[in-house]
Amino acid sequence: MASFFSRVLASVGNSINTYTGEDSYKFGDFSRATASRVGTAVRQYTGKDEYQFGDVSRETISKLHQFRERHQTPAIGYLRDNVLGYTNKDRYVLGDITLSTVRKFINFIRENTSSNSNLVSIESTDNAIEGSDELIEVLSRAFWLPNKHDVDIKCTQIQLKDDVIWESFFVIAYELSIQCIHLGVLVVDDFAGLEPFLFIGLPSLVLVEAVHRSIEHEGIVLATGTVVTETNCPDGVKSMFQAIDRFKKKFLELDLNTFELSWLKLNLLFTTGCDKEPPELIAKRVSPDRMVRINAIKSEVIGVSILLTQMLIFKEKFGRVMTRVLEDITESD
């Protein structure tokens, strides 16, 4: 991807290294260099002293909602129509805006230079973009997963209460939901309409997150850092714990890479009663033989999620989580 941009910029007498101030291009250098050059404008636009990734997008969405209030126009529809118009697609997939921007940039260069000898074709450009590790890495960050340093591990032999387990479950379900909306993987309408796929998909993500957090520990580590083991696990959730512990062992044996983990998470989220599909970009990076083994884990996770949905406390509280997500997102906008 770096060589592609370098060739394009060279055709109009510019240098990517001069623009970014870096010796070699890394994904995000353009954004960082541009933000540095227009830092004052960005701070004025976002109203923040220090820029964080996503600030401009969030501020833009906020301004769209303000537009809605002034003109009585549904902001979500306004945003959707403009995004689809910009990308020239019938439906949005994470990464479309980036791809469309690069294509428009290429066309601009073509229209404003007399020599196209150094320019690659649109088709080969698509392949270069879709094959770039940088773009795949962006897509792979669809869901937040804490590292081992995010919690203080607490071990106990005293039997835990059911509430301790469920509190961790619902906290992570909420945090993952907010993260998915901010990243564009899910939309507010999914929660407003209580889409059926969320009732299996989100619990499945919570389970994978719990297993990932527990990789270096015996048992399952909760969001609070408390470790659940066969000894201290409450009787009311013991069957669930045993099932999670079983697929944790398979999870460890398989040793998923970044792309495989992303593929698993996206497929779990969009498994049941959903017309959304994971980006092909990630699926292309998962070999067929590995796909078979990942699907086996996927089936086990879904099985545990179905078990969860049948429990009374899940039926009582999961809907409240989705309502809270909807309220908090609406208030922040």
- The band of 66, judged by pLDDT with boundaries at 50, 70 and 90, is low
- Domain count for the chain: 2
- Does residue 168 sit in the same domain as residue 62? no
Last residue of a domain, one of 140, 174, 190: 140
The pLDDT assigned to 54 comes to 60
**H/E stretch holding 276:** none
- Does residue 307 sit in the same domain as residue 205? yes
Q: What is the pLDDT of residues 284-308, one digit of tens each?
A: 778 888 989 998 999 999 999 998 8
Last residue of a domain, one of 140, 161, 192: 140
Least confident of 21-25, 84-88, 119-123, 202-206: 119-123
- Does residue 111 sit in the same domain as residue 236? no
Question: Is the pLDDT at 315 greater than 80, yes or no?
Answer: yes
Q: What is the pLDDT of residues 103-158, one digit of tens each?
A: 555 555 455 544 443 433 334 444 443 444 444 443 445 455 554 445 667 777 88
Question: Is the pLDDT at 281 greater than 70, yes or no?
Answer: no
Last residue of a domain, one of 140, 160, 178: 140
- Does residue 173 sit in the same domain as residue 314? yes
Both structure tokens of 53 = 């990734």
Helix (H, G, I), strand (E, B) or coil at 223: coil
The answer to whether the pTM exceeds 0.85 is no
Output the domain CATH number for residue 198.
1.10.565.10
Distance CA 71, CA 6 (A): 44
- Does residue 83 sit in the same domain as residue 32? yes
- Does residue 223 sit in the same domain as residue 263? yes
Query: Which of 198 and 97 is assigned the larger pLDDT?
Result: 198
- Does residue 57 sit in the same domain as residue 175? no
Distance CA 122, CA 247 (A): 44
- Does residue 234 sit in the same domain as residue 159? yes
In the chain, % helix, strand, coil (3-state, to 5) comes to 65, 0, 30
The average confidence (pLDDT) of the chain is 71
Q: Residues 185, 279: contact at Cβ < 8 Å?
A: no
The pLDDT assigned to 170 comes to 93
For 40-51, what is the mean pLDDT? Answer: 64
- Does residue 291 sit in the same domain as residue 274? yes
- Does residue 29 sit in the same domain as residue 73? yes
- Does residue 129 sit in the same domain as residue 162? no
Going by C-alpha positions, the residue among 7, 38, 43, 250 that lies closest to residue 115 is 7
- Does residue 200 sit in the same domain as residue 301? yes
Q: What is the extent of the structural domain holding 112?
A: 2-140
